[in-house]
Amino acid sequence: MSEREPHPEGIYFDMPFDEYLEDPSLGSGDIQRLGESPEAYWYGSPHNPDYVPTDKDAYRRGRAFHQLILEGQDSFDASYVVAPSRADYPGSIDTIDELKKICDEYGLTKSGTKATLIDRIRTETAWQGEIWTEIMARFADEAGGREHFPAKEYAMLEKVNAIIRANAAYVKALSDGHPEVSIFLRDPDSGIPIRCRVDWLAEDWFVDLKSFSNKTSKKINKAIANETVNYGYHVKIAMYQFIIEAARTFTDDQIHGADPKWIKEFREGKEHQGVLLFVGTDIPQVRARGLSRLTPPTPSSAGSPRMIWQTGHSLFRNALRTYAGCVEQFGLENPWNVMEPIIHFEDDGFPVWAMDQ
């Protein structure tokens, strides 16, 4: 199967999202799947001829979410238009039966398609009510090429955006930087091409937005910590920090789209800290959690490594080793089906609660 070549090493400030996704370098999603199993990666990758791309609706929602929060209302409005809601037109009609009822009231024939019934009502009656099909047709015409965004989702997005804008710490985290920055790197140890798409890149921190739903009703701090580990966000932060720190050594011709003053400050800044900005999808709540490689320095210490960061970094490196080993064993065109002997369970392989009687 033919495949695109990875982008040259560099920082790209204006790369379209689709172009980033088409690059074959390993991203954080690939690293997560490699951490699950070789099969999870290969069968979920374009190397698999039966591969079906990830849900585009989820990408659309995520992109709209990022665009409003990171780039502002004007940027959102240039790409999206909020779709009408039936609640905004309480007297509107839409069904065939409703249209037939109007025809019957005016003594007209009730046969024909929906389009025929609408035309008959508009040309042969004085009825001036709203018809939902016409409302949506007008909306589509006025929207032009912009994507339609559901009104209910937008209402939640507006609420969480207002929360972020009212929090000085969150506003500061999303200032003095650039949105949607793509970075490509050849891993110095393995030579494997890797990539990251940073939601917000500043001089010495970066922000990653995460949608969040506390479905198990845990205390929010515990729920966020669980979500971070369950979805491998600590691995992603460690990977992104590794790539960003390497990118600070890139030459001017490897940096595309930022002004020289910002580049200078980026290179000379402190080691980058990751910030996970959790945004509620079921209720409007926002929380931010920082994750850096080291604990804060003290008068007697420069700071010690954080265990959760070390774990994330180790899992990132393990995933690269898994990838290199499977490429050597299977290549990229053949399925990655690992043949293991029968492995017996050990008690310490189960969670503690499984032993309750």
Give me the CATH topology for the region 10-54+152-324. Lambda Exonuclease; Chain A (3.90.320)
Type of residue found at 199: D
pLDDT digits (tens, 9 = 90+) for 244-278: 999 999 999 999 998 888 899 999 988 999 999 99
Q: Determine what percent of the chain is predicted with pLDDT higher than 70.
A: 95
pLDDT at 303: 65
**Residue 119 CA: distances (Å) to CA of 92, 109, 110, 133:** 16, 12, 12, 12
What per-residue confidence (pLDDT) applies to 306?
86
Per-residue HEC secondary structure of the chain comes to CCCCCCCCCEEECCCCHHHHHHCCCECHHHHHHHHHCHHHHHHCCCCCCCCCCCCHHHHHHHHHHHHHHHHCHHHHHHHEEECCCHHHCCCCECCHHHHHHHHHHCCCCCCCCHHHHHHHHHHHCCCCCCEHHHHHHHHHHHHCCCEEECHHHHHHHHHHHHHHHHCHHHHHHCCCEEEEEEEEEECCCCCCEEEEEEEEEECCEEEEEEEECCCCCCCHHHHHHHHHHHCCHHHHHHHHHHHHHHHCCCCHHHEECCCHHHHHHHHHCCCCEEEEEEEECCCCCEEEEEECCECCCECCECCCECHHHHHHHHHHHHHHHHHHHHHHHHCCCCCCCCCCCCCCCCHHHCCHHHHCC
The model's pLDDT over 216-250, given as tens digits with 9 standing for 90+, comes to 889 999 999 999 999 999 999 999 999 999 999 99
Structure tokens at 23: 């690059």
Q: Dump strand ranges (E) for 245-341.
A: 255-256, 273-280, 286-291
CA angle 16–21–23, rounded 5-degree value: 105
pLDDT at site 180: 94
306 alpha-carbon distance from chain centroid: 26
CA–CA distance from 65 to each of 184, 232, 344 (Å)?
24, 21, 46
In this structure, are residues 114 and 96 in contact, taking their beta carbons and an 8 Å threshold?
Answer: yes
**Structural element, H or E, at residue 74:** helix 73-79
- In tens, the pLDDT along 290-309 reads 998 877 766 666 667 789 99
Q: Are 329 and 315 in contact (CB under 8 A)?
A: no
Q: Does pLDDT of 116 surpass 60? A: yes
pLDDT digits (tens, 9 = 90+) for 311-350: 999 999 999 999 999 999 999 999 999 999 999 999 888 8
Q: For residue range 58-99, what is the model confidence (pLDDT) as tens digits?
A: 677 788 889 999 999 999 999 999 999 888 899 999 999 999
Domain ranges in the chain?
10-54+152-324
